[in-house]
Amino acid sequence: MPAAIKHLPSNFFSRDASWLNFNRRVLEEAQDPANPLLERVKFLAITASNLDEFVEIRVAGMLQRIEDGYDQRGEDGLTTQQTLDLLSGHMHDFVRDQYRCWNEQLLPALAKDHIRVLGWDELDEAARAHASNYYQSEVDPLLTPVTIDPSHPFPRVLNKALCLAFLLKRKRRGSPALAKNQILGVVTVPRALPRLVRLPSGPGRQDFLFLHDLIEAHAVSMFRGYEILSRAAFRVTRNSNLYLQEEESRSVLESVRAELHNRRKGDVVRLEIESSADVEVIERLRINFELDEVQVFRTDGPVNLSRLMNLYSETPRPELKYHSFTSRELRLDRRSTDLFDELRQRDILLHHPFDSYDTVVGFIEAGAEDPRVVSMKQTLYRTSSDSPMFRALLEAAHSKEVTVVVELMARFDEDSNIRWARNLEDAGVQVFHGIVGLKTHCKLALLVRRDPDGVTRRYAHLGTGNYNPVTARFYTDISLLTADPRITAGVHAVFNYLTAQAESDEYKSLLVAPLTMADEFLRLIQREADHARAGRPAHIIAKMNSLLERNIIEALYAASQAGVEIDLIVRGICSLRPGVKGLSERIRVRSIVGRFLEHSRIFCFGNAGDEEVYCGSADWMPRNLFERCEVVFPVRDKHLRELLRQEVLAPYLADTAKTRWLMPDGQYVRPASKAAPFSAQEFLIHLAEGQAALADIPSAVATAPVTGPRQAAQRSRA
């Protein structure tokens, strides 16, 4: 047996630095002229939304620990304050790059394609008249201007609400002191209105004006009696972590509802303000919100780039967006009478969005409509506001036993989940909120049916993604529909665990967190290492969103040293350091960022030729393995295992268009290839449409570029 690997900080990348690197890979998609123009705008908006969440959760958490006196050194040897200082520098650099992309690349390209985002001074007479009419009828009635003085304290600024600050001076002569004083005026831009105002324009043209520019242009009417000395848009980001005291609450639902109210009032952790803002305005806002200078982010353009998503959705230019495609519809065997009959004959594996999500929706709807189905159970983490699944569960409650486990603390979906929970309860559904202290993140549905042959059977859906038909169109996920008694018995046992915290041996066919999953993954990795030492074929292919769990990483290092070939496809955070001689030289890490958000989790273990493949809801992160209820399920059918290897993993391993390789120094570089770029996602679209075949996958799997740290850094910057 090899010696245990020392737990050295140099063996691991920083979680937060790795996340910032991921967001930079998204920004690269906005910068890439090979992508359709409006999709580039969308990618830029996504980077801003991602950074918002990072600040209000991760940065806010660090500030909270520092304030509470827990400024301890982490495994990298840095204190929380030192880590925060390092990240702040990276974030300021990133914001500058975001606005450089907007100003120097996207705005000119949009104008070239006759899409203009204009300032008030650029509008012609007709456009100004149209915008002014819109302001008077739709905007002005929603505005509440406030001046800050002894009788008017600073208004409560909501989290991430766009506001306008005005430096004002009284025109009327009165008290000499008042005449000299400059005061601050604040107006909140209404969230109920679109952030971009469409202007009249000629054929083939789309002109827009930012809503805050329109309000600024009419500010004189709001602050009559004042001279407006300067004006600037700003936005604050607040600490949005939920700090629940569950043991003191009457219910988890009440606890979450109360804490959501507090979230809107959390401490400010970031101020974004236009770089053209008067120094006096910036300083007054900074002092009011009790921020250090490093927490002030000056933007060379519109504050809150995430609102550029409106530009994408409001511009009907399909030629500037990804081409639409039609997902494959499930075809039942002509001898099958319905989906249940089909599932008695075989398991069904789906790869969304290339395979239509309608099959999963149809499974739930069939359960609600079929009189032979007597019981339905489902977990809900996130879903759409008008989900057909939600309606099916409400309808089923009239005639069946319906149980739903709703995760109230799905981040930033808490409000909607509370509403769903109450609506379901009102309809007669038994609603549970899982186990105190554990998020319910597994994706499970279980139907019990009295079949025509007189046998009562269970039918299950297990997935890697949320029950959300909307996101299923642009997230890649795996679904398994099955009547396999070993799987369905395990799903039944998991529901008992969620509703009664009852542990069982029946879910042994599944990997269940926090009970068995971590140990089982370690066992599977160790088994590959044992095979390699014995001279048998050994490999691991794992695809996930994030890789952070130290015990898993150290097990992978040990397996690499034992001779196991390991390919990891990790979209986002990765703390594992690949390609280090004597540590991880047989480990390769790819990240794929493209048209679809890579969300499927697939784990493949060679097992000396008797390959085992698992899919599920969990990443290799501490929160997934120890702080959530997660389920990873085996793909038992040999044909389906081959389908996963050939139609899913093989294209991703061959991708050279959207892949970035993680280098030993933490840089991500694109693969060097003389052949035409191969995009796994585009191939899978063509495969679904019948315009491609497996033979089109490049025969030579892309290999990591052989570069040293300095070369890798140079290539990344290039």
Tokens of 273: 């303000």
**Residue-wise DSSP of 266-301:** PPEEEEEEETTS-HHHHHHHHHHTT--GGGEEEESS
Q: Which region, left, alpha or beta, applies to residue 77 given φ > 0 means left and ψ of -120 to 50 means alpha?
A: left
Backbone angles phi, psi at 274, to 5 degrees: -60, 140
**Residue-wise DSSP of 92-125:** HHHHHHHHHIIIIIIHHHHHHTTEEEE-GGG--H
> 3-state class of 681 per DSSP?
helix
Q: How far apart are CA 400 and CA 40, in angstroms?
A: 47
Q: How far apart are CA 229 and CA 220, in angstroms?
A: 11
257 within 8 A of 418, measured Cβ to Cβ: yes
Give CA torsion, residues 155, 157, 162, 164, to 10 deg: 20
Question: What type of residue is 542?
Answer: A
Give CA torsion, residues 408, 413, 418, 421, to 10 deg: -70
Give me the catalytic one of 212, 433, 441, 539.
441
Determine the Cα angle at 294 with ends 55 and 273, to 5°.
Answer: 75
Q: How far apart are CA 54 and CA 52, in angstroms?
A: 5
Q: Which of 517, 531, 580, 579 is nearest to 559 (CA)?
A: 531
Q: How far apart are CA 166 and CA 685, in angstroms?
A: 51
Q: How far apart are CA 425 and CA 445, in angstroms?
A: 18
Is-catalytic flag, 90? Answer: no
Distance of CA 316 to the CA centre of its chain: 26
Residues assigned a catalytic role: 441
